[in-house]
Each structure stands twice: as structure tokens, then as C-alpha cells.
Amino acid sequence: MSEIQEQITNILVEKIGIARTEATLDANFIKDLGIDSLDYAEIVMEFEQTFDIRIPDNDAERLQTLGQAVEYITEKTS
């Protein structure tokens, strides 16, 4: 597990209360993890603060799985 994936998993576990075992790369935030739009907005803000990046709304809408979030944040931080 990459450092970014580990940090994202920690955010999901702490902020949303999901089980660590649910945080797989193909886990869909809404369908698999049951995250609603309010929780999702909070998670995106947490990603921005944790990784010191800006995630525009149209980019945030495309991040549907944990794997997509890992790829996106990896690109933005490298």
C-alpha cells in the first residue's frame, strides 16, 4: 500500500467510520462505502488539507473510487 493510499484510508476510517478492510482500491465511495454527498465534500476538503492541493469541483466529481483518488492525488503531488 502506497503512503498516499494509506493516508486516504486513514481519512476514510477516521472521518466516515468505515472498516479498514472496506477501503480497497476498487471501492466506490457512494455504492460500496455508503458515503453521501455531504460526507464526500468533507472528504475532498480533508484530501486538500492533508495533501496541500486544490481539487476543483469538476475533478472531485470524477473521483468515484479510492483507486481514482489515489491516482489523482499522486499526480497532483508529484
Residues designated catalytic: 36
Radius of gyration for the alpha carbons in the chain, expressed in angstroms and rounded: 11
Q: Considering only CA atoms, which of 61, 66, 64 is closest in space to residue 21?
A: 66
